[in-house]
A = this chain, B = another copy of it.
């Protein structure tokens, strides 16, 4: 399953369900390692089927930096254009844990809520 825009179905509720979770997704993807912009985008798509547009990632990263949740470091060489690597600050780690905790509870509530709906499928 892919969580990007689906040309087959013009409905936009899929996009709306993703809304607000991308910030957490990006923070969480930086939990274990430093990544640069496009890399974050690819990792999320590969590991979690979460498809982000470039026009989405960069503004979020700017926001996170302005809030002091991530720090950046330019790395030249290696390949083509220099890359800007992002890593979590201590405040970023605290925020990530807080969001993950909250998200975990939220996920439980939603699961409970949609259980009867999905139960239909088991028949």
Q: By the criterion CB–CB under 8 Å, are B47 and A1 in contact?
A: no
Interface size on A, residues (CB 8 A): 45
Q: How many copies does the complex hold?
A: 2
Bound-complex Cα distance A107 to B99 (A): 14
Binding site for B on A (CB under 8 A): 1, 3, 13-21, 23-25, 28-29, 31-32, 44, 47-50, 96-97, 99-107, 109-114, 116-118, 120-121
Question: Of all chain B residues, which has the CB nearest A14?
Answer: B102
A106 touching B17 by the CB < 8 A rule?
yes
Q: Known: A20-B20, A103-B110, A105-B49. Is A116-B14 also a contact (CB below 8 A)?
A: no
Given A16-B20, A99-B13, A104-B118 contact (CB < 8 Å):
yes
Q: Given the complex, which residues of B lie within 8 Å of A13, measured CB to CB?
A: 20, 23-24, 99
How many Å lie between the Cα of A81 and that of B26 in the bound state?
A: 47
Report how far A102 CA is from B118 CA in the complex, Å: 11
Q: Which chain B residues border A111 with CB–CB below 8 Å? A: 104, 107
